[in-house]
Amino acid sequence: MLTQIERIRTKIESGERLTAADGEFLFRSEVDLHAVGELADVVRRRKNGNVAYYNVNAHLNPTNVCVYRCPLCAYSCNADDPRAFVMSMDEMLARGQEARDAGCTELHIVGGVHPEKKYEWYLEIIRQLHRAFPQLHLKAWTAVEIDWFSQLTGRPVESVLEEMQSAGLRSLPGGGAEIFNPEIRRQICPRKADATTWLHVHRTAHRLGLRSNATMLYGHLETTAHRIDHLLQLRQLQDKTGGFQAFVPLSFHPENTRLIPKGTVPFSLQENRDSPQIVHRTSALDDLRTVAVGRLMLDNFDHVKAYWVSLGLGTAQVALAYGADDLDGTVRRERIHHAAGAPSPEALSVEQLQNLIREAGRDPIDRDSLYQQVGVRP
């Protein structure tokens, strides 16, 4: 008589798709984490052999002013807050220059949705950066931002994406997905684009030939059933479009947000913030299990990222043995996760990324934004 983990192993080995019940079982803490990781590693190896990817990239966050002010967000603020900033076009072009000089192949551009900035400002950012640095792949605007542009202009998502594409946008990042469950969203990000809208933006982008990524923010109020539901919705869309490149699990960091970690002094109350919530913190064990279950459930995704900014360097490196095949990038100038207390460094060098990968027993591949190997660097 096979145990449940043995039955799942048989499915994995024969390439059979896992069910929601399988996924929920794998999330149970009494199920041996190493066994789950081993299964995920079987899938990773089948898809990506012995390589692990990294990318030389930089982040650009044009503004932190955002109309939505999601309780989960440590990054955004109101326009009159002393922390508020809006970058000028010259500053953004200087960032593009800095990225090019550093050998970056990609600029990752996301930020807040500023109540006074018109759609043309966002379009112009893409147009001018692309004109000045055509060799930089512009991976820009989350589905939340694209939906905002659609609201601002009164035009369909498709029309906005087409115009952005003509201006130089080359792919979409995966942010804003958080957790698709509407009840959890109501508490962590009640006003921004809902799950249906997020999926619609990505579906439309894929139809236009744009590739994108998909994130899942975990470790706040959600249950493992919510995580599985999120993964299944991603899998379903990927079945239809094939446009997702990578799944990016993001571990939630509560510092400076309006969600209070369990077992801590309710600092949010002391500071008279509104709508505090009780959340649980993730552990390295939960991080590794989530990476592994993501790898196992998303059988139609080629890549799973261990985003070191969110997971921390040690866990990201270990995650390469739990189903992940990509450490993401050098990530210069990341502000969003660091604002929420991510203890990871500000940036990594190519050498550091290569060492992390080699120490994990993999061969490092310098990739571009579409997972093509970058030639030998000067």
Q: Which residues bind ligand SF4 (CB under 6 A)?
A: 66, 68-70, 73, 75-76, 112, 144, 189, 192
Coil, strand or helix: which one is 250?
strand
Are the beta carbons of 260 and 266 closer than 8 angstroms? yes
Which contacts (CB < 8 Å, 24+ apart) does range 76-79 have? 76/112, 79/114, 79/115, 79/116
Nearer to ligand SF4, 251 or 354 (CB): 251
Q: Could you tell me if 72 and 220 are in contact, meaning their C-beta atoms sit under 8 angstroms apart?
A: yes
Q: How far is the CB of 146 from ligand SF4 (least distance, A)?
A: 12
Nearer to ligand SF4, 30 or 271 (CB): 271
Position 80: which residue type?
Answer: D
Q: Output the smallest distance, CB 289 to ligand SF4, in A.
A: 25
Of the candidates 170, 178, 104, the one whose C-alpha atom is nearest the C-alpha of residue 140 is 170
Closer CB to ligand SF4, 82 or 375, in the complex: 82
Nearer to ligand SF4, 70 or 161 (CB): 70
Question: Least distance in Å: CB of 78 to ligand SF4?
Answer: 10
The residue whose two tokens read 């995920």 is: 40
Q: How far is the CB of 67 from ligand SF4 (least distance, A)?
A: 7
Smallest separation (angstroms) from ligand SF4 to the CB of 145: 8
- Minimum CB distance to ligand SF4 smaller for 69 or for 155: 69
Strands 303-304 and 244-251: parallel
| Nearest residue to 193 (alpha-carbon basis) of 119, 122, 141 | 141
CB contact at 8 A, 219 and 251: yes
Could you tell me the smallest distance in angstroms from the CB atom of residue 250 to ligand SF4?
11
CB of residue 217 to ligand SF4, shortest distance in Å? 9
Q: Which has the closest alpha carbon to 251: 278, 224, 219?
A: 219
Instruction: Supply the minimum distance, in Å, between the C-beta of residue 70 and ligand SF4.
Output: 3
Phi and psi at residue 122, to the nearest 5°: -70, -40
**How far apart are alpha carbons 301 and 296 in whole angstroms?**
10
Taking the complex as a whole, the smallest distance from the CB of residue 179 to ligand SF4 amounts, in Å, to: 13
The whole-angstrom separation of Cα 106 and Cα 135 is 8
Q: Which is closer to ligand SF4, CB of 197 or CB of 241?
A: 197
Q: DSSP secondary structure string, 66-127? A: -SS--TT-SS-B-TTSTT--B--HHHHHHHHHHHHHTT-SEEEE-----TT--HHHHHHHHH
Q: Which of 362, 291, 289, 353 is nearest to 327 (CA)?
A: 353
CA R_g for the chain: 20
Q: Which is nearer to ligand SF4, 70 or 201 (CB)?
A: 70
In the bound state with ligand SF4, the residue whose beta carbon lies nearer, of 130 and 337, is 337
**Residue with smaller CB distance to ligand SF4, 259 or 327:** 259
Q: Which of 112, 81, 84, 71 is nearest to 252 (CA)?
A: 71
